[in-house]
Amino acid sequence: MYVDARERYPDLYAYDYSPEDVEKMFFKLPHDPRLTRLGKRLRRTSLDELPNLFCVLLGRMTLVGPRPEIPEMVAYYRDDQLMKFSVKPGLTGLAQVSGRNILKFQETIAADLAYVEQRGFSRDMWILVRTVKAVLLMMGAH
């Protein structure tokens, strides 16, 4: 992203949504103006996730689990959705192989909750295999 993205696009950092917005919004913009040309390429190929691999190696994240959330968005979670945070965040998850960036915010949360409720070794292996396919085919990548 541009170093001065916050100053260039302050509306994208306001995080002020109505209940209706939260129900229908997509969190990732298809054409995010904050991204540089290189940033767009990194995001599209998922290479922008490589730094998170260090978090996995340090034990702060797992390979599979709900994606980390930015603190500003936690206020928009309902009480019944907070269960998402009962497990470590993951480098990839059910939402990433179920539509990735084309899912609405609430659909992503629903996929994360389904993962938390049904997680297990075989499910994680299935998600990892699907992640490789999604990354190679750039499915749902902007």
Find the farthest-apart pair of alpha carbons in the chain and give their distance in angstroms, rounded: 45
User: In this predicted model, what pLDDT tens digit does every residue of 27-84 receive, in sequence order?
Assistant: 777 788 999 999 988 988 888 888 999 999 999 999 999 999 999 999 999 999 999 9
CA nearest to 87, candidates 55, 62, 107: 62
How far apart are the C-alpha atoms of 85 and 66, rounded to whole Å? 8
pLDDT class for 140, splitting at 50, 70, 90?
low
Domain boundaries, the chain: 5-137
User: In this predicted model, what pLDDT tens digit does every residue of 96-129 receive, in sequence order?
Assistant: 998 877 889 999 999 999 999 999 999 999 999 9
How far apart are the C-alpha atoms of 93 and 46, rounded to whole Å? 14
Highest mean pLDDT among 47-51, 87-91, 97-101, 137-141: 87-91
